[in-house]
């Protein structure tokens, strides 16, 4: 971990505050969606910021409870029968994750094509915009639906927006529009030329001004004001002392360690959480202005320690989360100090600041996330991918549509399948070359040959006419799959009837042989 410079701290400290404000309602909403105690989401956020942030393989990745695990957590708690037993599964998942990091399983993220990673970022941007529009209109009833297309209230991403329009709050719309206006103006050249614009984070201005506007509405236009009764403000649990805070913790029930269902739950959380973490790590590296390469194995070990600690004190499972990580980047963070600050702020807020933070309108936070979403899913990104051609654009587009219509992991899987198709297709066309010189033909392997190259190999062999002399040159192929060799053997049988002479050069490592 490098020691941050003064200039970096000027960015990191306000960025940490912004991430804290973004993470706070999400931690609470994910706990609600998971059917877990409300405090468990805050505990996971604190551990993700302060412990995983300190050990992480990334300077900018932000960890905490993930909406992608909410369904797994909900069903696991119901199946195991008690939250204390589930907490034990979280502890064991941390040990499994740490083991995955030790055996260097983090490299799996490098096999995801860039087009799919860029599609994931653009999709997250669209999801942020679509899911935050209801909050910007004052409809804050369904936090648990903020990262999934189908929601528990039987609405989906688009019908939720329509329902929110019908029940829109003028006060929320006013706060959201003013907030978006501030964020837009702050990015303009006219404002950015002033030094103070670089020292004051616009998101912080949005939160303060949004709160002041709502307080003014309470005094002079109560019908427009946003209230706790309608769940339109931040809702932190109120505790009067540190002792009361720690008394709310739920600890794992170690006597259930022999139950098979506990180990199945632990393995599921470890595998799904690791995949989501590695995907988010790749995406965060793409967003990093300094383009640093994070260590995925160190990240898995950090997540393992985080889940171990979170489970021991009753927190939810932890993963790297792209929404908070992207908000961290766009808030100006440069080092992990921002992540640590966000975790510390969650702890301080629950202990000492709940009463004041509960005045912040969620419409102001929605405006911040909508702005982040626009940067992730800008038209410029779409045009760039289109110009790179169909093999790049189609996996990108499929990933975007699938994530918006389902969830993160399913969308990534769909994009990956399309990406694999194009890789196999390009691999086929580049694998084999067939040239002719009179009666002599030469079939050259340009790279290692596997079963995916059989179709192209058969197509080329069909082009060789009767009565020819064919040389199969495998000099450039260090490996030839058995399927390929069997295809050649089958062609040899046909060649005898077609009076085709065959000769092999360096195929499967053999010296030139005549057949």
Distance, in Å, from the CA atom of 402 to the CA atom of 423, rounded to the nearest integer, reads 20
Distance, in Å, from the CA atom of 214 to the CA atom of 171, rounded to the nearest integer, reads 7
Low-confidence residues of the chain, pLDDT below 70?
A: 1-8, 29, 32-33, 68, 71, 142-148, 150, 152-153, 195-199, 241-242, 424-430, 508-515
Helix (H, G, I), strand (E, B) or coil at 317: coil
By CB atoms closer than 10 A (0-12, 13-18, 19+), residue 168 is middle
Other C-beta atoms closer than 10 Å to the C-beta of 380 total: 9
β-strand 440-445 against 469-473: which pairing, if any?
Answer: parallel
Query: 260-287 vs 70-80: helix axis angle to the nearest 10?
Result: 170
CATH (one of 3.30.750.24, 3.20.20.10, 1.10.287.130, 3.30.365.10) for 438-514: 3.30.750.24
Distance, in Å, from the CA atom of 76 to the CA atom of 4, rounded to the nearest integer, reads 41
Nearest to 64 by CA among 255, 315, 238: 315
pLDDT for 509 equals: 44
Task: Give me the residue label for tokens 């790749």.
Answer: 282
Strand partners, 432: 445
For 164, half-sphere exposure in the C-beta direction (CA atoms, 13 angstrom radius) is 24
Write the CA distances from 191 to 38, 200, 244, integer angstroms. Answer: 41, 12, 46
Nearest to 28 by CA among 143, 189, 146, 178: 143
Q: What is the largest CA-CA distance in the chain?
A: 98
DSSP per residue, 464-502? SPTT-EEEEE-TT-S-B-HHHHHHHHHHHHHHHHTT-EE
Write the CA distances from 506 to 435, 460, 474, integer angstroms. Answer: 18, 19, 5
pLDDT for 421 equals: 81
Residue 343 host element (H or E): helix 337-348
Distance, in Å, from the CA atom of 140 to the CA atom of 231, rounded to the nearest integer, reads 6
Question: What are the sequence ranges of the domains in the chain?
Answer: 6-381, 438-514
DSSP 154: S
Distance, in Å, from the CA atom of 287 to the CA atom of 181, rounded to the nearest integer, reads 24
Strand partners, 442: 435, 471
Instruction: Indicate the length of the chain as a whole number.
Output: 515
pLDDT for 371 equals: 85
pLDDT for 34 equals: 75
- Token representation of residue 276: 């989501």
């Amino acid at each position: 971990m490098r020691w941050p410079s003064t200039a970096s701290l000027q960015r990191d400290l306000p960025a940490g505050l912004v991430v804290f404000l973004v993470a706070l309602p999400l931690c609470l909403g994910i706990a609600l969606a998971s059917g877990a105690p409300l405090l468990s989401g805050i505990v996971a956020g604190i551990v993700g910021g302060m412990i995983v942030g300190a050990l992480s393989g990334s300077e900018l990745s932000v960890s905490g409870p993930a909406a992608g695990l909410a369904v797994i957590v909900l069903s696991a708690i119901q199946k195991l029968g008690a939250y204390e037993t589930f907490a034990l599964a979280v502890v064991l998942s941390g040990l499994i994750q740490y083991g995955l990091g030790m055996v260097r399983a983090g490299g799996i993220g490098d096999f995801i094509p860039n087009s799919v990673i860029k599609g994931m970022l653009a999709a997250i941007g669209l999801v942020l915009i679509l899911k935050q529009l209801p909050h910007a209109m004052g409809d804050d009833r369904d936090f648990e639906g903020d990262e999934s297309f189908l929601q528990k209230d039987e609405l989906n991403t688009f019908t939720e927006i329509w329902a929110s329009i019908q029940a829109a709050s003028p006060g929320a719309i006013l706060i959201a529009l003013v907030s978006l206006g501030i964020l837009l103006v702050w990015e303009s050249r006219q404002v950015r030329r002033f030094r103070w614009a670089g020292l004051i984070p616009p998101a912080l201005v949005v939160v303060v001004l949004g709160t002041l506007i709502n307080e003014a509405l309470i005094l002079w236009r109560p019908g427009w004001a946003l209230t706790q009764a309608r769940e339109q403000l931040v809702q932190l649990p109120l505790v009067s002392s540190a002792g009361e805070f720690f008394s709310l913790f739920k600890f794992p029930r170690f006597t259930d360690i022999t139950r098979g269902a506990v180990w199945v739950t632990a393995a599921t959380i470890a595998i799904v959480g690791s995949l989501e973490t590695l995907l988010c790590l790749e995406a965060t590296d793409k967003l990093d202005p300094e383009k640093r390469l994070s260590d995925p194995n160190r990240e898995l070990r950090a997540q393992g320690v985080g889940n171990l600690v979170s489970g021991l004190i009753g927190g939810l499972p932890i993963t790297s989360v792209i929404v908070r990580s992207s908000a961290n980047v766009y808030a100006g963070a440069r080092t992990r100090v921002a992540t640590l600050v966000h975790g510390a702020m969650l702890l301080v807020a629950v202990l000492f600041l709940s009463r004041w933070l509960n005045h912040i309108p969620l419409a102001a936070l929605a405006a911040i996330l909508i702005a982040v979403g626009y940067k992730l899913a800008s038209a410029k990104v779409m045009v760039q991918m289109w110009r790179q051609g169909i093999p790049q654009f189609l996996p990108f587009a499929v990933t975007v549509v699938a994530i918006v219509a389902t969830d993160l992991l399913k969308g990534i899987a769909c994009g990956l399948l399309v990406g694999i198709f194009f890789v196999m297709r390009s691999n086929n066309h580049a694998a084999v070359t067939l040239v002719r010189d009179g009666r002599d033909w030469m079939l050259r392997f340009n790279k290692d040959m596997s079963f995916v190259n059989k179709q192209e190999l058969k197509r080329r062999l069909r082009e060789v006419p009767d009565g020819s002399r064919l040389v199969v040159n495998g000099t450039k192929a260090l490996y030839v799959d058995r399927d390929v060799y069997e295809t050649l053997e089958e062609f040899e049988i046909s060649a005898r009837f077609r009076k085709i002479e065959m000769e092999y050069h360096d195929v499967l490592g053999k010296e030139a042989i005549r057949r």
